[in-house]
Amino acid sequence: MALTGKQTRHLQQTGQKLKASCMVGKAGLSASALGDIQRQLDRHELVKVHIPPAGSGDSRKAMGEQLAEATGSVCVKVLGRTVLLYRQGPQSSQRDD
């Protein structure tokens, strides 16, 4: 799913108010961490995830993309050690009418 610029800005603005609800540990993407992120996305659609410290911005962006791919979501933004993920819920797709 590709987001427009307007949608991305809106999600970033909404995400600023959120607290991180999930965390990826030093071990990386474990099954329990992915399961927790999946449950949070099912409930809230927009989720902040803390990731472990990494060397460069490129590796943090890569981690954000890995999380998005593994959870079927979109990586809205990576800022520092926080990744903002969005996945449209089933109710949202019906509201487009």
Q: Which residue segments constitute the domains of the chain, with CATH numbers given?
A: 18-89 (3.30.110.60)
Residue-wise pLDDT tens digits, 25-51: 877 788 888 999 999 999 999 999 998
66 or 25: which carries more pLDDT confidence?
A: 66
User: And the tokens for 45?
Assistant: 């659609």
pLDDT of residue 95: 45
Alpha helices in 1-97 (DSSP H): 5-15, 31-44, 57-71, 90-94
Quickly count: other Cβ atoms within 10 Å of residue 39's Cβ: 13
Percent of the chain with pLDDT over 90: 55
Pair 13, 78: CB distance under 8 Å: no
Global pTM reads 0.85
Which DSSP letter does residue 18 get?
P
On average, the pLDDT of the chain sits at 86
